[in-house]
Structure 1
Amino acid sequence: MLKAVLWDMDGTLIDSEPYWHQVEMGIAREHGGYWSEDIGWTCSGKPVPQVAQKMVDNGTELPVSEIERLMIEGVARKEAEHMPWIEGVEDVLRSLVAAGIPSVLVTASPRRMAENLVRQAPEGAFVGYVCGEDDLPKKPNPAPYLAAAEVIGIEVPREILAANGMTSQLGSSTGGRTDVSSQILDSDSLGNTGNHGNYGNQGNRNVPASEHSAEFADDVQLDTFRHEMARCVALEDSMTGIESAAASGATTIAQTGFIGTDTSAGPQFASISSYSNLTAEALERYVEQRLATMQQ
């Protein structure tokens, strides 16, 4: 029943926010700006160029492109020296590998950092990734999660892709996006990920933001897409990411243990504060519960 797990990176897989805050504060201090850990937390989950622009707005006397470069280089060096995996998350990834459940990384971080994490993850964990350098609308738009869905074989209705600003990414023959194909890391492992039919109607939780496009899509195709997305668990920590994942229709779980902001009012299906006792079987139960709510 559990089809795939879609992972945010910073604050979800790795406790990297301290790295970002340290680097940001160092850049600001050296170039006439003001920055603090509290400001850094307000930027959690946002693309690096947006954070760089905010640093400029707070007085940092460098071009956005240069701040972005310094930020990425600084954090990448720290992660190369020590990848700050959140306690227990590597065991969850190994459990998913053993159960034959693919994972996809869905991050606003640059490609360099996404690939560095995938390389250091347990063998076979990630079949692909979506990163901040992809030509996609950014979180909280659901586009990154819709792209991840296509990586693991879910056919996203063309109308939903278009409604979320992904028209330019539509493939000419299959309706799939063309710009994630080079980021599928192990296509042979995606064999049993086809769509299935005969499902009930969507419930009232985590309805995709693009549902207004339903009138354009075939009802059976739309119901199939909703059901397939509900079979995907998305793990996120920031409100920006939680909104993105939930809007895609994925069964969204908020990781609250490593973020300095309150996400309790978010649209997540459930929340966790650690990875203790979280296994492929436990994630399957979340999917079962979500599907039950969709039948009500």
Structure 2
Amino acid sequence: MNMEHKREESRAGSTDKARSAMGHRPLAVFWDMDGTLIDSEPYWHQAEVDLVREHGGDWNADMGWQVSGKPLTKVARLMRERGLDLPEDQIPDLLIDGVIAMEERHMPWIEGVRAILTDLVEAGIPSILVTTSPRRMAQAVVAKAPKGAFADYVCGDDGLAQKPNPAPYLHAAGLVGINSPDLMASCLAFEDTLTGITSAVASGATTVAYTGTNPVDTSSGPQFASISSYRGVTLDDLSALIAKRLGRSGPSAAQTC
């Protein structure tokens, strides 16, 4: 079974490589989850504030934005430093439980993103979810996505070095048979935080900063382009980003699309 899986990945990689050379379509699209696919950051901040109210400490939504995109273990440590009276190893699971409860009532998809995911499925371009959130949260999002939207997902509890390290994105590429550094520029990555942007850029992916949900300014980040809305974005628009990246020489400056 494993050998057959590798043969299928190899065939997929060869097909994608040929397609990219012909039309500059993305080989794959990598998606951060919170704040990029779903507008869940307010859920996280509410869960943090609710936990603090119940167990003491000093925390608010502004503090939540400052740790957006960071591993939950680090968030827990900072919340403890702000006076949260709970064992550090219990805090991540309690926050996750709070967010999942809100998402079960309403999954906050960002407007326009489901249409892009559907277009990618129809074009045969794989999407991979790349998140620092735990697997059970990623699974909940994948289950409610358009059918076949995600070929796989990479999670914060997969044992990889976490963002801003490029390891999650390099692993995601490998899941769809993209193992050559030269092919990473033909992959798109969507991120909303500087931590995630740094990770994606370091992997070599053509990185797009989504600015529609995060109030923290990312304009000075190393992304190739920035976008404030998914409404009306087409596969041709995504392909144009790849074509422009491949046609440029030297460092790529951030641009708005």
Q: TM > 0.5 between the two?
A: yes
Alignment of 1:108-147 (within 5 A): 108-147=132-171
Tell me the residue number matched to 2:3.
Answer: none
Tell me the residue number matched to 1:275.
Answer: 230
- Tell me, yes or no, if the aligned pair for 1:96 and 1:279 is still in contact at 8 Å: no
**Deviation of residue 37 (structure 1)?**
0.7
Please list every run of at least 4 consecutive aligned residues from structure 1 whose deviation after the TM superposition is greater than 6 angstroms.
none
1:15 maps to a residue whose letter is D
Between the aligned partners of 1:25 and 1:295, the Cα distance in structure 2 is 45
Which one of 61, 69, 84 corresponds to residue 45 of structure 1?
69
- Tell me, yes or no, if the aligned pair for 1:21 and 1:40 is still in contact at 8 Å: yes
Cα RMSD (Å):
1.1
TM-score (norm 1): 0.75
Tell me the residue number matched to 1:239.
Answer: 194
Tell me the residue number matched to 1:248.
Answer: 203
Unmatched 5+ residue regions in structure 1? 156-224
Equivalent residue of 1:85, what SS?
coil
Between the aligned partners of 2:103 and 2:91, the Cα distance in structure 1 is 18
- Tell me, yes or no, if the aligned pair for 1:145 and 1:248 is still in contact at 8 Å: yes
1:107 maps to a residue whose letter is T
Between the aligned partners of 2:215 and 2:47, the Cα distance in structure 1 is 17
**Deviation of residue 69 (structure 1)?**
1.3
Question: Percent of aligned positions with the same letter in both sequences?
Answer: 57
2:152 maps to a residue whose letter is G
Deviations, residues 67-98 of structure 1 (Å, cap 9, x unaligned): 11110000011111111000010001011111
Between the aligned partners of 2:212 and 2:95, the Cα distance in structure 1 is 24
Which one of 214, 232, 244 corresponds to residue 289 of structure 1?
244
Residues 63 and 250 of structure 1: is their aligned pair in 2 closer, same or farther, counting only changes over 3 Å? same
Which one of 230, 233, 236 corresponds to residue 185 of structure 2?
230
**Deviation of residue 294 (structure 1)?**
4.0
Equivalent residue of 2:129, what SS?
strand
Equivalent residue of 1:14, what SS?
coil
Between the aligned partners of 1:264 and 1:236, the Cα distance in structure 2 is 13
Unmatched 5+ residue regions in structure 2? 1-19, 21-25, 252-257
Tell me the residue number matched to 2:4.
Answer: none
